[in-house]
């Protein structure tokens, strides 16, 4: 009876998006689909990440993919996105957030721009 009352009074809008996503990701059984979803969300998620998002990404990087090359590539991409978060924060702080971090050269150029701003 209590569970029904809680469900009745709780609205999805009152639950933070990160917590809803975290709960939904846990129900995805296929490692490929789970990793693909996490990768897409990690790319689009604004920085800085909150602890629930950090936890989702860290768990994705630790998932056992049993040598599946596609899943391994997804894990590498997720890890790369995770490593780039501090750089994305820095670029956002100096209004350089539209820059791409896919190549090391862009990071160096933008770092030099930041140094000239100070």
pLDDT at 59: 92
Categorise residue 66: left if φ over 0, alpha if ψ from -120 to 50, beta otherwise: left
Return the closest-CA partner of residue 58 out of 36, 81, 89.
81
Q: Between the CA atoms of 26, 28, 29 and 35, what dihedral angle is there, to the nearest 10 degrees?
A: -90
Per-residue pLDDT tens digits for 75-87: 999 999 999 888 8
47 three-state secondary structure: coil
pLDDT in tens, 30-56: 999 999 999 998 888 888 888 888 989
Question: pTM of the predicted model, to two decimals?
Answer: 0.68
Q: Where are the domains of the chain?
A: 2-84
């Amino acid at each position: 009876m209590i569970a029904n009352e809680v469900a009745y009074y709780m609205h999805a809008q009152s639950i933070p998006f990160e917590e809803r996503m975290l709960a939904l990701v846990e129900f995805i059984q296929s490692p490929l689909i789970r990793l693909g979803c996490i990768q897409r969300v990690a790319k689009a998620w604004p920085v800085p990440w909150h602890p629930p998002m950090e936890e989702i990404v860290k768990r994705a990087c630790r998932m056992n993919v049993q040598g599946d090359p596609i899943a391994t590539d997804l894990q590498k991409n997720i890890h790369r996105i995770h490593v780039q978060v501090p750089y994305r924060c820095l670029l956002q702080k100096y209004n350089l957030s539209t820059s791409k971090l896919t190549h090391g050269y862009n990071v160096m150029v933008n770092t030099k721009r930041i140094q000239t701003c100070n």
